[in-house]
Amino acid sequence: MLVESEQQETKNKKLVLVLGMHRSGTSAITHALTTMGVELGDRLMPAIDGNNDKGFWEDLDVNALNIKMLEALDRDWHYLLPISEEETNALIEKSFLNQAVELLKKKIEKFSVFGLKDPRMAKLQPFWQRVFERCDFDVYYILPVRNPASVTASLLKRDAMPLEKGYFLWAEHTLAALLGSSGKNRIFIDYDQLLGSPGQQLERMSNFLGLEINSEKAAVYTDEFLETNLRHSSYCLSDILTAPECPSLVVEIYQSLLIVLEKGQESDVLKAKTEKWKNCLDSDSILLKLADGLSKKIGEAERTSADQASLIIALEQEIAVKASHLADIKTVLEAQEAHIADIERVLEAQAGHITDTERVLEAQAGQIADAESVAALQASHITDIERVVEAQANHIIDTERVTSTQADHIINLERVLEAQKNHIADIERVTAAQLGHITDYQRVTTNQEGHIADLERMVTTQGSHITDLEKVAEAQRNQIVKLEKILTDEQQKAGLLEAELEKFNSFLSGSYIARKLFFLYMKKH
C-alpha cells in the first residue's frame, strides 16, 4: 500500500537523468536542459574556478546522498570495481532506498519535469533503478559521449589520475550507464558536437523529451555559456588507437558509440556488445579489486600526508605565532628594562631629594628646639613677672591695710587694684593660652615650616606682651609710689590736723565763738 501511495504521488512525473562519466560533458548537457523547461531545483553545487568554472548543475542533496552510500560500501567515486547486486541490497537494508525515495519526491513534487546529474549515479545505477521503480517515474536517460582521451587528460590535470586508471574508470562508468539505461528511453549526445553545433544537439534533446526550446534561453546558453574554452583538449579516434595506456576494451566501446551517433539510432548489436563488455570487465574483477585496494591505500596515504602537511603547516604557523609572541615578549622586556632604568633614575633622584628633605627636617628640628627653648625661657620670664605682680599685689594689699582709715580713698584704690588683678588674670590666661599653643606647636611636626613661623610670631607677640606687662608693672610701681607719697602727705596732713585739732580744742574749750570758728574751719577744709 505504501508503494502504491508513493507511485500515485510521482506518477506521470518526468525525470531526466544525465548519466555518464566524470569530465565527459555532463554539466554542459545538464545546463542545456534548462533551455527547454527542465527544472534542476534551487540546491545546486556552486562553480569552482579551475574545475568547473561554469558550474556543475548538480543537486547538492543528491550528491551528498551518493557520497554517503559510497562511504557505506567503503568505496569512492574513482574505484574501478562495479557495484554488485549484494552491495545494492546492502544499501537497501541500510534504509538508503527510503531516503532516496523521500528525497526525490521532495525535489520533484512541485515540477512536472525534473533533471538530475551526478556521475556517481552511473556507478550506483543498480540502486537508483530500484528507486525509480519504487516511485514509478517516467525516466529519460541522456548519455554523454566524449573521447576517452579527453576525459583521461582532464582527470590527469585535475586529480593527477594515471591515464591507465582513467581509461578503466571511463569504461566502468560508461558500461554502468549503458546497462542501467538498456531498453529504456535514452539518447546519446556527443560533447564535441554540442560545442560545435549546439543548436542541432539542443533540437535532438528537445525532440527526445517532447519539450519546446525557449529561444532566448537557448541564445544565452549558446552565446554565453558554451565557449571554446570549455573544450580544454581536443582528441580524435586515432589518439586512443595509438595510446599505449588505452585498453582495447575502451577503444571498442568508444568506436561502437560513435557508430550509434553516426546512425542516429541504436540496434540490438549494441545491447549484445554491452553484455560482452560487462563480462570482459567482470573477468578483470580481481585486478580491479586489487587496483581499488591500492587506490584506497594511496588515498589513505595521501590523506595521511595531507593531514601531516596540514599538521606541519599548523605547527609552522604555531611556531611563527610563538616566535612573534617571543618577539613581542622581548620587546615588552626591553621596554620594561628601560622602564626599570627610568624608575631607578627616579629612585636615585628621590633618594637625593629625601636626603635633602632629611637635612631640612634636621634643620627645622633644630629651629623647633631653639624655638621651644625660647618659649621655655619666655614661660620662665612670665612666671617671674607673675611672681613680681603677685608681690606687688601683696604690697598693695599691705598698703590698703595701712590706709584703711581713709575709707573713700582706699575704696577707690581697691577698685583700681581689683582692675589690675583682673588685668593680671587676663595676662595669666593669655600666658596659659600661649603655653597651650606652644604645646600644640610641639605636637604638630608635619607642617614644620608653618609651625616655626607661628612660633616666631608667637614669640614676637609674647615679647610684645612682656613689654606691655613690664610697662604695666612700671606704671603700677609708679602708681604705688604716688599712692605712698599721697599716703605720706595725708599722714602729714593728718598730723597737722591733729595738732591744729588740739589747738582748737584748747581754744574751743574757752568760748562759744571759738567753737563756731572751729566748725567753720572744718567745713571749709
Quickly list DSSP for 268-307.
Answer: HHHHHHHHHHHHHHHHTHHHHHHHHHHHHHHHHHHHHHHH
pLDDT, averaged across the chain? 84
> In angstroms, rounded to a whole number, what is the distance separating the alpha carbons of residues 107 and 251?
38
Q: Is the pLDDT of residue 458 over 80?
A: no
| Total residues found in the chain within this entry | 525
Checking if the pLDDT of 394 tops 50, the result is yes
Residue 514 — pLDDT band, cuts 50, 70, 90?
low
Q: Is 432 exposed, middle or buried (0-12, 13-18, 19+ CB in 10 A)?
A: exposed
Give tens-digit pLDDT for 288-330.
989 989 988 887 887 888 788 878 788 788 878 887 887 887 8
Q: For the range 209-218, what are the long-range contacts, defined as Cβ-Cβ under 8 Å and sequence gap of 24 or more?
A: 209/14, 209/16, 209/36, 209/38, 209/113, 209/140, 211/36, 211/37, 211/38, 211/113, 212/36, 212/37, 213/35, 213/36, 214/35, 214/36, 214/37, 217/34, 217/35, 218/35
Range 170-193 average pLDDT: 96
Of 90-99, 206-215, 418-427, 515-524, the least confident? 515-524
What is the band of 87 on the pLDDT scale with cuts at 50, 70, 90? Answer: very high
Per the structure block, which three cell numbers stand in for 204? 535532438
Number of Cβ within 10 Å of residue 219's Cβ equals: 12
Query: For 7-266, CATH number?
Result: 3.40.50.300
Rounded to 5°, angle at Cα 79 from 242 and 305: 100
Q: Residue 438 pLDDT more than 60?
A: no
Compute the radius of gyration of the chain from its Cα atoms.
67
Question: What does each C-alpha distance from 326 to 314, 385, 415 come to in angstroms?
Answer: 18, 83, 97
- Evaluate if residue 251 carries a pLDDT over 50: yes
pTM assigned to the model: 0.60
Strand partners for 139? 15
- Model confidence band, residue 84 (pLDDT cutoffs 50, 70, 90): very high
The residue among 330 and 74 whose pLDDT is bigger is 74
Q: Tell whether the model's pLDDT for residue 45 goes beyond 60.
A: yes
**Amino acid sitting at position 408:** D
**3-state SS, residue 74:** coil
Strand partners, 187: 142
Over 60: is that where the pLDDT of 512 sits? no
Query: How much of the chain, in percent, has pLDDT values that exceed 70?
Result: 84
List phi, psi (to 5°) of 124. Answer: -95, 20
Q: Which residue has the higher pLDDT, 27 or 484?
A: 27
* pLDDT, tens only, 220-233: 999 988 865 555 56
Helix (H) or strand (E) holding 260: helix 248-263
Buried b (16+ CB within 10 A) or exposed e, 70-107: beebebebbbbbbbeeebbebbeeeebbeebbebbeeb
User: How many CB atoms lie under 10 A from the CB of residue 415?
Assistant: 10
Residue 508 has pLDDT above 70, yes or no: no
Query: With 90 as the cut, is the pLDDT of residue 177 above it?
Result: yes
Dump pLDDT digits (tens) for 106-119. Answer: 999 999 999 999 99
423 DSSP 8-state letter:
H
pLDDT score of 200 more than 90: yes
Long-range contacts of the stretch 332-335 (C-beta < 8 A, 24+): none
- pLDDT recorded at residue 410: 44
Query: Residue 476: what pLDDT?
Result: 80
Strand partners, 18: 117, 142
Lowest model confidence (mean pLDDT) among 248-262, 275-289, 466-480: 466-480
Give CA–CA dist 261/144, Å, rounded: 11
